[in-house]
Amino acid sequence: MQNPHEQQQIDILRRITATVDRLNESVVTMNKELKVANSYSNKLKFIGDLSEHYHESTQFNLKATGLKKDPTTN
């Protein structure tokens, strides 16, 4: 005896499979975009660190040479 719901179940499984395929494609695309975003983030962090180290070095050298002045006085 044939299952009366077999065709309906097959159709539902096809829809589920198609949806999972689209979801997988979306996840792959999202992963690629996240890699790009992480790359930009790493570059920005490097530039921020570089700027911070430059500031610290400048402050140290100004203090060491006695040229550092209080910013509130003219």
pLDDT in single tens digits along all 74 residues of the chain: 588 899 999 999 999 999 999 999 999 999 999 999 999 999 999 999 999 999 999 999 999 998 888 888 76
Report the half-sphere exposure of 55 (CA within 13 A, side-chain side).
Answer: 6
Helix segments in the chain, DSSP class H: 6-65
Q: What is the pLDDT of residue 74?
A: 63
Contacts of 68 (CB under 8 A, 6+ apart): 59, 62
Query: What is the Cα Rg of the chain in Å?
Result: 30
Are the C-beta atoms of residues 59 and 68 closer than 8 Å to each other?
yes
